[in-house]
Structures are given as C-alpha cells and as structure tokens.
Structure 1
Amino acid sequence: MNGVNILLTLSFLGLATFIASAYDPSPLQDFCVAIDDPNKASVFVNGKFCKDPKYAKAEDFFFSGLNIAGDTNNKVGSNVTHVDVDKMPGLNTLGISLVRVDFAPYGESPPHTHPRATEILVVVEGQLSVGFVTSNQDGNRLFSKVLNKGDVFVFPIGLIHFQFNPGKVPAVAFVGFGSQNPGTITIANAVFGSNPAINPEILAKAFQLDQKIVEQLQKKFWVAN
C-alpha cells in the first residue's frame, strides 16, 4: 500500500506540474474570434508575424524621439508618446513596451485601465499625484501618493488608476508596461463615448444621475489619452 500511495502522490504531483505549466498565452488584443474557415484566419493573430531572423537589423530594436515633449494642448492637458511594437518591431514577443507622458500644469491622465499589463511609472520632471483603486472584492480601496522627481510607483494589471499634475509647471514621466500591447481603456470614454452609445437610461441608473445629464455627457468630445 505504501508503494501505491507513493506512486499516486508522484502521479498527482506530475499532473499538477503539467497543469501549472500549460496555460493560454497572454492576450495581445481585445479579442480573437475563432472561425472555421482557415482562408479568413491568416491575418489576425495574437501579436505580430515575425520576419526571418536573418533579415533583422539594428533599426528593428531602436527608437528615437523620447527627448521631444508631447503636445499637451488638449482638454485633459496630457500627451502620451508610445514606444510599442508598432514603433519598435523588435519588441514583438518580448512582453514589454514604454511610453513618455507629458503633463501640462494641472493636466492629468484620466482614470483608465490597462487590461493586459502592469504599469510602472517614474517621474523625471515636476510632481504627480497618482493612485489606483482595488476591485470590488477588495472594497474599492484607493492607494494614492504624491510623487516627486525620481520617485517610482506601480499600478497592478487591470486596476483603474490615474495621474494628475498638481503643480504650476509641466511634469514628465516615463512608464514601462509588462506587455508589447497593454491596451488602454479610459473610463469616461468607454462609458460615455462608446460607439454606438449605451442606452442613457442604463447609465442614468448605474451612476444615479438624471438622464439629461447622461445625455449631455454622451455629447461631449472625450480625449483618447
């Protein structure tokens, strides 16, 4: 019996190890709809097609321009310069990307979420007030901090977060993501600027607002930033 028990234990451990190592790859797009016709499945993949390595060159792994400030003349007062797989092809399959974020005085990155990546931010100029909110299961707790030059803050994957420049001078931050395509869902844009629009009756009840206010919000121009 002891030998049988040992064999069963080893079998379960082996199965557990297999299950732990066998998982779906992380999604690199919002969705990937399965189809039966292979002739229509040759373009959209979870990521990008790869070139033959013998044709790779140094420029595939290079980007220049993060020293240039972005134009913050918009309604939210911020600008994001992306260094993703579309700007640097060599990032494909490496699971990382980078952005520069410029903030005008009192500018912000409105509450948003990245469905496919954790975000880590470092302030290189000015000051930022940042924070993220936990899920419903964790009581929607707010974790916030005022950051100065050289300070670093991390935003866990999928959680709603924000950055705001409380100062009278511009601020600059560099942000790293744990995905070549982290995705961005700006909450106000998604809720009030969806196409087609969500039924205002639904939003009025969800946000406990007068329906006319919801309809006014749906008519606004929302900055995708």
Structure 2
Amino acid sequence: MKTTFLFVTALALASCAFAFDPSPLQDFCVAINNTNVFVNGKLCEDPKFATPEDFFFSVKEGNTSNSLGSKVTPVAVNEILGLNTLGISLARIDFAPRGLNPPHTHPRATEIFIVLEGTLYVGFLTSNPQNRLITKVLNKGDVFVFPIGLIHFQLNVGYGNAVAIGGLSSQNPGVITIANVVFGSNPKISSDVLTKAFQVDNNIVDNLQKQFWYDNN
C-alpha cells in the first residue's frame, strides 16, 4: 500500500511538472525548423553550431493602421530559435488612440504586462461560476498580470499612441482570439449552436459570421 501511494504521488507530481515547458537539461537547445517532425517543442540543433543570431530578434514598431488599432509583435520560439525549452517569450503591443487588443487567451502561459508609453484600460475574466471582471487603468511604468488561460484584453484610453510589453511563461504561449475563433472559424460553427449559446436571433449570428475578423497577431 505504501509503495502504491508513493508511486501515485510521484506520478501526480510529474504530471504537474510537465504541464508547462520542461526544465532544460543543457545550456540551450536551439530549435531546428523541421516541419516533418512533430514533438512537444522543437528538435535541438547541435550546440557547437549555435550562432548569436539564434538568440537575437529585433522588435520593430507595429503597424496599427487596421480595424483594431493595435498590433502584437510576438517574440517566441518561432522568432528566436534559442528560446526552445527555456520556457519564456514576450510580445510588443502597439496601440493607436482607442486601439484595442481584443479579448483573447494564452492557453499555455501566464502574462506579466508592463506599459512603456500611454494609458491602457486592461482586464481579465475569472472562470465559472464567478465570471468576475477584474480591471485596472495602467499608466507608464505600471505592471499587471493576466493568469494563465484566462480571457483578457487591453484598450488604449489615452489621447496618444501606447506601447506595452507582455512577458509570457512559455516559449510558445499560443493565442486564442475569442471573436475570431467563435465567428470566424473554418468551417463555420453551426448557427444552431451559436444562437442557443448567445441567445440571439439567427440573423445576428449570420451577420457576425460574414464579418472579416482581423488578426492583430
């Protein structure tokens, strides 16, 4: 019985440990972009072939001249191959006046968010059954945290442009933009599902599914 208990406990701890990016067992693991092989992460290049470019990316100002008035520039493992297995990434978010980074989630990461310029109204929603909205107006230098997997957003409420940086606890945090996924899926979700889910007329659902859902990522 004692042996069984220890085994189950170890298994539970292991499952928790591997819920996020695994701890590296070497100095680094520069990713190999091989689309023919699929693993939980990316394959490693021989460390002796690593170059400075494997650990470098230049983040430019994002073009906010779109329907959302925002642009997210990710810096994850696809941009810096040396991030593979290290468990971190970031994103630069540029906002035009009244620009919005719409409600979205990162399924694999918590985000710590700092405002570099401007004033942003930010918030996230807690899970069922509370469904609480937790919000804050942030100014330059302010920091806010969006817990892993929860829906969150940022809106520029200042008179000028705004810039922020989001640090993420995964090399590949993923992003699910709620409106894009629900109303812009391919193929489309049945209107029978959406009319019941949102308690609206079928014409409203049809209209929303006909919209062009801009992806600011």
Task: Give the TM-score taking structure 2 as reference length.
Answer: 0.87
One-letter amino acid of the structure 2 residue matched with residue 47 of structure 1: G
CA displacement 1:160-206 (0-9 Å, x = unmatched) = 01000011201000011111111111110011000011111211111
1:54 aligns with 2:48: yes
Q: Which residue of 2 aligns with 1:32?
A: none
Mind listing any 5+ residue stretches in structure 2 that lack a counterpart?
22-34
Aligned residues with identical type, % of pairs = 61
Higher mean C-alpha deviation, range 52-61 or range 165-174:
52-61
Once residues 171 and 45 of structure 1 are traced to their aligned partners in structure 2, the CA distance between those partners, rounded to angstroms, is 38
Q: Which stretches in structure 1 are left out of the alignment for 5+ residues? A: 1-7, 29-40
Aligned-pair distance for 1:13?
Answer: 6.8
Q: 1:201 aligns with which of 155, 177, 192?
A: 192
The one-character-per-residue Cα deviations of 1:137-174 (angstroms, maximum 9, x if unpaired) are 3x100110000000000000000010000112010000
Is structure 2 residue 146 aligned with structure 1 residue 155?
yes
Distance 1:85 1:128 in 2: 27
Using structure 1 for the length normalisation, give the TM-score: 0.84
Tell me the distance in 2 between the aligned counterparts of 1:165 and 1:42: 41
- Per mean C-alpha deviation after superposition, the further-off stretch among 15-24 and 199-208 is 15-24
Q: Which runs of 4+ in 1 moved over 4 A?
A: none
Q: Secondary structure at the match of 2:121?
A: strand
Alignment check: 8 A CA contact 2:95 2:162 kept: yes
Within the candidate set 102, 121, 131, 1:129 is matched to 121
Count of residue pairs the alignment pairs up: 202
- The root-mean-square deviation of aligned C-alpha atoms, in Å, is 1.9
Q: Is the CA contact 1:131–1:145 (under 8 Å) kept in the aligned structure 2?
A: yes
Is 1:183 paired with 2:158? no
CA deviations 1:92-119 (Å, max 9, x no partner) are: 0011111100000000111111111111
3-state SS of paired residue (2:43): coil
- Pair 1:168-2:153 in alignment: no
* Aligned residue identity for 2:164: A
Query: Contact (CA 8 Å) 2:101, 2:153: kept in 1 or not?
Result: yes
1:140 aligns with 2:131: yes
